[in-house]
Chains A and B, each alone.
Chain A
Amino acid sequence: MMQMRIWFIVLLFFTAFATVQAQGRYFTKTGRITFYSNAPLEDIEAVNKTASAVLDARTGQIQFAVLMKGFEFRKALMQEHFNENYVESNKYPKAEFRGQVVNNSSVDYTKDGTYPVRVKGQLSLHGVTREIEVPASLQVQGGKIDGTATFHVRVADYRITIPSLMKDKISNTVKVTVQVKLDPLSS
């Protein structure tokens, strides 16, 4: 009887621990952010696979940070122009998002499933900070979270100027896709 009680207490402890962990913070250091711009001359596409992100499941607070020099283009010249002439990555080395899952209470982080959410916050890029609100999806599976979001950014909103020679060749909006696989932060 005593032994059963001990087992019951141990089971309770692990259940409580798992619930606390599931409702805590989730993070990644290898988030994937791509941007795509349709252009008459050639489509412009780049990927950054080393975005850092943290989601606090209790409050819905979410934070992303990505280094601009980490965007990889297929063509070296395009990457150089992106860093030197457009985002000026020596002057503004990173882009950051700090925000909140607006409908965080509708997400059950302890239950597997796909939850449509809205994320609202401040996007800082090229020295400009603007508020954005975008639709996103959180897929909870086995204690981990897959987050995805796709949205459009107007380059002029972030004071990124397209040289007049290239104005007709480059789109003034870019499609940004965010894909993160968030692991629970156990500490």
Chain B
Amino acid sequence: MKGKIIIAICLLVAVAGLYGVKEYFRTHDDLAGEAPVANLSASQLITAFETNAAKSRQQYVDKVVRVTGYVTGIAAEDNPVVISLGEKGTMSSVQCSMDSTHPVTAANVVGKQVTVKGVCTGAITGEMFGTDVKLTRCLLETEKP
């Protein structure tokens, strides 16, 4: 009986240890298989945060969203790259920090309409900035010329 208890305790400790190690080394989930909570254009997402920031935070922050818009810029100095979606001539835009496991190069997105899926981290609004909605761990779903 005592032996069985010792074996059970050892098993429990081993399972807990394995779980701890697995959790410690856990990386971020790939969003490819994740269903978005909303499908929006870049300007719809920007307007949502401009008109009701609190409601938009509840609806979108920490959640996967799918956003479509024109690529107005790309910061491609290092991997992952950041692409900006929006309209030319406006300060407001959506910045998408791309997932490094889904490579994007400047040549295949700049000036095109793309659809991006990513986790919304919120928005920054200021008179000097306009409204910037930020997404992280993004991947490119579709692109149109």
CB of A54 within 8 A of CB of B129, answer yes
Q: How far is the CB of A178 from chain B (nearest CB, A)?
A: 14
Please tell me if A77 contacts chain B, counting CB pairs below 8 Å.
Answer: yes
- For B26, the chain A residues whose CB sits under 8 A away are 75-77
Complex-state Cα separation, A29 to B23, whole angstroms? 33
Q: Give the residues in chain B near A27, CB-CB below 8 Å.
A: 91, 128-129
Q: Is the CB of A70 within 8 A of B128?
A: no
Residue total for B at the interface (Cβ-Cβ under 8 A): 32
Query: Given A52-B124, A72-B136, A94-B122, are A77 and B95 neighbors across the interface (CB < 8 Å)?
Result: no
Do the beta carbons of A77 and B23 come within 8 Å of each other? Answer: yes
Residues of A within 8 A of B75 (CB): 30, 49, 181
Q: Out of B23, B73, B93, B129, which one reaches A65, CB within 8 Å?
A: B129
B61 at the interface (CB under 8 A from A): yes
Which range holds the interface residue count of chain A? 20 to 34
Contacts of B93 in A (CB 8 A): 29
State whether A77 and B24 are in contact (beta carbons under 8 Å apart), knowing that A30-B95, A52-B132, A69-B61 are contacts in the complex: yes
Contacts of B34 in A (CB 8 A): none
Q: Which residues does A use to contact B, with CB under 8 Å?
A: 25, 27, 29-30, 49-50, 52, 54, 63, 65-67, 69-70, 72, 74-77, 79, 93-94, 181, 187
With A27-B128, A94-B124 given, can you name 14 additional A-B contacts, CB distance below 8 Å?
A29-B73, A29-B129, A29-B132, A49-B80, A50-B82, A52-B124, A63-B129, A66-B124, A69-B121, A70-B136, A75-B25, A76-B26, A77-B23, A187-B89
